[in-house]
Amino acid sequence: MTRLQGKVAVVTGAASGMGKAIAILFASEGAKVVVSDINLEAANVTVDEIVTNGGVSMAVVANVTKEEDIQNLIDSTVNTYGTLDILVNNAGIMDNFVPAGDVTDELWERVFAINASGPMRAIRKSLPIFTEKRSGIIINIASAGGLMGSRAGAAYTAAKHAVVGLTKNVGFQYATLGIRCNAIAPGAVNTNIGTTIYQPNEFGMERAMAGINLNPRMGESEDIAKVALFLASDDASFVNGTVVTADAGWTAY
């Protein structure tokens, strides 16, 4: 029997990269997967791949900075598939390595809106479903930047630290209600999040990249998807309120 048979999962930012890999792997393990992304056309490509391989999936466009989009995403999931079992908050952007001395309010607020407030809104909307049935799994994609001080700029670093704190808070507070909330902290992974880097700050990038030569290797999206599958499955029933680092040992130095 597949590990997620009969489960319903929502994955944000699932049109590409880690989100796409997670959606495809979850579907192959029996989950009905809602592929959410700001780019509906690209999200449908992920859906098509899942369906072609015998899975069940649909796309729902969502900008995670908009409360109405989050409401529609979860409502559409429940209306179509009857419930929600797994929420994966993957959507995120980088911050051009801008250090604190140069960060603008606009950049700070945009990075937090997508990387921290987006997961909070999706969790807030999903919790009533999970608490009612006393069962639910939340997986947040954090970052090595949420554990360490200088793997990105000030805004990204602070936002991913916020995701780690949110993960631990939700994990503990709702543990007795049958809900698990964990995060994954990927190291350097080959995804297209790099397309959100443009005109990087020279000073900030130099400081953030100071330890890149210590990175044992780059990861692939599928590496992170496998960790997400573990956290979503019953194999991780005793894992809650924590962060699983997946970085080939980069942050262990």
Domains of the chain, start order: 8-245 (3.40.50.720)
Q: For residue 18, give every residue at least 6 positions away whose Cβ sits within 8 Å of its Cβ, in sequence order, or none.
A: 90, 141, 186, 189, 191, 221, 224, 225
Q: Which tens digits make up the pLDDT trace of 31-55? A: 999 999 999 999 999 999 999 999 9
Inter-residue contact 247 to 219 (CB < 8 Å)? yes
Tokens 């360490």 locate to 148
Q: Which tens digits make up the pLDDT trace of 108-135? A: 999 999 999 999 999 999 999 999 999 9
Q: Which tens digits make up the pLDDT trace of 234-248? A: 999 999 999 999 999
Chain-wide mean pLDDT for the chain?
Answer: 96
Give the per-residue pLDDT at 193. 66
Is the pTM here over 0.75, yes or no?
yes
User: Which three-class secondary structure state does DSSP give residue 222?
Assistant: helix
Is 90 exceeded by the pLDDT of residue 93? yes
Q: Which tens digits make up the pLDDT trace of 57-78? A: 999 999 999 999 999 999 999 9
Inter-residue contact 22 to 11 (CB < 8 Å)? yes
Instruction: Point out the catalytic residue in the list 81, 156, 174, 198.
Output: 156
Is 70 exceeded by the pLDDT of residue 137? yes
Give the per-residue pLDDT at 192. 72
Closest Cα to residue 167, out of 181, 157, 177, 148? 181
Annotation marks residue 253 as catalytic: no
Give the per-residue pLDDT at 197. 76
Give the per-residue pLDDT at 165. 98
Q: Which tens digits make up the pLDDT trace of 180-235? A: 999 999 999 998 766 777 789 999 999 999 999 899 999 999 999 999 999 999 99
In Å, how far are 13, 56, 163, 169, 245 from 79, measured between CA atoms? 21, 15, 28, 29, 35
Give the per-residue pLDDT at 194. 66
